[in-house]
């Protein structure tokens, strides 16, 4: 077997996918491996070099993976001429996911925003709404893995096409009605993003949010034995649509806070800020509300107001490391550099593995001509987040070159 069989090099290798992928659509995966030089075959056969088995479906009881290959393909696999990989193993070889499942390449909200070229406030909104779900949280700081990055990328595509965040959520909620029990269609179902449209794949058809069925010609081309789409019964779909949605007056702090978030999403920042204040007046300040108001005040250009709200969030919860880091950024913009350094150091005291804090601390130390102090933070940042959108900048500072 050649060196490409054991490394991440796919140059010139014929690759076929089998089954439905868990991390992205077949089209996205095909485009990704083509970028790495692979030739994508229509289906597994004896003339391919590599077969990648999707992880979205589970084999039925008593069925083995070998049962899905014809005799010639099975023989080629047994002779070592074809390598069979699980989906995750392929991403590991390409460096998209670390081989140690406990140490994946994770993204903070700020890194994800930079990667997708969207405001960090949008990432936080997706998080609050459950559209993306962190694989872990460290002292209130969420971390997102590669699968969530793929989901966020689809959401960003819709934003770039001109779909508003509220419209995206309405469309996803409408699609969810056709598959009861599914809360996150982009992550859990076979969903296609076409321009400003979100379509649910069902067999050879595509369902629009309004319920209209389209024929999906691409599905016929991509069809694989592992794809077993769920087709809801008429009774289950009807039951999911019959759940009443009641509207209540804004009587509780939680409802007022939700209204504030909706105003913020609509771009009505001044009204949203007043509503956040009203939520705290009704139920008392919480770390989350102080943080959200601080973020909003920063977007409004009120740096002094944002600074005070970040301080309050930390007073209410000293573990709130993202508030500490954001406070450091605001203090730096206000010219309070020594206080900014202290804020970043405080964040790292509570969470030494916080890559963003290392990055910002390294930057401000270097700007203050404290390069010797900055260097270990550049190094720590690169070790923690080698694939970050800011990694090349850190390499330049360390004299490592680009890569």
First to last CA, the chain: 29
The confidence band for 65, taking pLDDT boundaries of 50, 70 and 90, is low
For residue 235, give both structure tokens: 């009774």
Give yes or no for residue 241 having a pLDDT over 70: no
Q: Is the pLDDT of residue 174 over 70?
A: no
Do 87 and 364 form a contact (C-beta atoms < 8 A)?
Answer: no
What Rg, from alpha-carbon coordinates, does the chain have? 24
Mean pLDDT is lowest, of 185-194, 232-241, 264-273, for 232-241
Residue 149: alpha-carbon gap to chain centroid: 3
112-142 b/e (C-beta count within 10 Å ≥ 16 → b): bbbbbebebbbbbbbbeeebbbbeeebbbbb
pLDDT averaged over every residue in the chain: 76
Mean pLDDT of the 196-218 span: 46
Q: Is the pLDDT of residue 113 over 70?
A: yes
pTM: 0.55
Strand partners, 133: none
* Cα separation, 167 vs 159, whole angstroms: 10
- By percentage, how much of the chain surpasses pLDDT 90? 31
Contact between 60 and 94 (Cβ < 8 Å):
no
- The more confidently predicted of residues 292 and 204 is 292
Q: Order of strands across the sheet with 213-215?
A: 191-194, 197-202, 205-207, 213-215
Give the largest Cα separation in the chain, rounded.
Answer: 72
Residue 118 confidence (pLDDT) above 60:
yes
Half-sphere exposure of 289 (CA within 13 A, CB side): 23
Per-residue pLDDT at 177: 58
CB 263 within 8 A of CB 272: yes
Structure confidence at residue 26 (pLDDT): 78
Confidence of residue 124 (pLDDT cuts 50, 70, 90): confident
Of residues 276, 301, 302, the one with CA closest to residue 289: 276
Strand intervals (E) in 46-162: 50-53, 83-86, 136-138, 141-143
User: pLDDT-based confidence at 326, cuts 50/70/90?
Assistant: very high
Q: What does the alpha-carbon distance between residue 351 and residue 299 come to, in Å, rounded to a whole number?
A: 26
**Structure-model confidence comparison of residues 378 and 78, the more confident one:** 378
Q: What is the pLDDT of residue 201?
A: 47
Distances, alpha carbon 127 to alpha carbons 89, 319, 353, 377, in Å: 27, 19, 21, 28
């Amino acid at each position: 077997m050649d060196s490409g069989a054991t490394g991440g090099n796919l140059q010139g290798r014929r690759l076929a996918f089998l089954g439905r992928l868990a991390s992205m659509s077949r089209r996205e995966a095909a485009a990704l491996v083509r970028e790495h030089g692979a030739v994508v075959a229509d289906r597994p056969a004896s003339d391919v070099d590599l077969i990648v088995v999707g992880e979205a479906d589970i084999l039925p009881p008593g069925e083995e993976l070998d049962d899905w290959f014809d005799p010639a393909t099975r023989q080629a696999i047994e002779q070592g001429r074809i390598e069979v990989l699980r989906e995750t193993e392929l991403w590991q070889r390409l460096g998209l996911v670390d081989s140690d499942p406990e140490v994946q390449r994770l993204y903070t909200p700020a890194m994800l925003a930079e990667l997708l070229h969207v405001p960090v406030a949008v990432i936080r909104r997706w998080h609050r709404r459950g559209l993306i779900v962190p694989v872990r949280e460290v002292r209130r700081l969420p971390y997102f893995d590669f699968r969530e990055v793929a989901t966020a990328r689809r959401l960003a595509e819709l934003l770039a096409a001109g779909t508003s965040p509220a419209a995206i959520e309405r469309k996803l909620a409408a699609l969810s009605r056709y598959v009861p029990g599914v809360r996150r269609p982009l992550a859990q179902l076979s969903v296609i993003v076409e321009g400003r449209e979100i379509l649910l794949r069902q067999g050879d058809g595509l369902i629009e949010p309004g319920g209209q069925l389209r024929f999906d010609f691409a599905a016929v081309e991509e069809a694989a034995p592992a794809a077993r789409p769920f087709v809801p019964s008429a009774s289950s779909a009807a039951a999911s649509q019959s759940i009443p949605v009641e509207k209540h007056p804004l009587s509780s702090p939680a409802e007022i806070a939700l209204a504030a978030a909706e105003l913020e999403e609509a771009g009505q920042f001044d009204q949203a800020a007043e509503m956040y204040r009203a939520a705290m007046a009704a139920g008392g300040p919480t770390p989350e509300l102080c943080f959200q108001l601080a973020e909003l005040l920063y977007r409004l250009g009120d740096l002094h107001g944002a600074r005070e709200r970040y301080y309050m969030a930390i007073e209410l919860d000293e573990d709130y490391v993202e508030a500490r880091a954001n406070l450091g950024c605001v203090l730096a913009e206000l010219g309070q550099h020594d206080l900014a350094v202290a804020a970043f150091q405080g964040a790292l005291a509570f969470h030494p593995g916080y890559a963003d804090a290392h990055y910002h601390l390294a930057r401000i130390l270097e700007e203050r001509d404290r390069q010797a102090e900055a260097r270990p933070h550049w190094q720590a940042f690169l070790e923690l987040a080698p694939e970050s959108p800011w990694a090349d900048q850190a390499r330049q500072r360390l004299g490592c070159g680009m890569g």
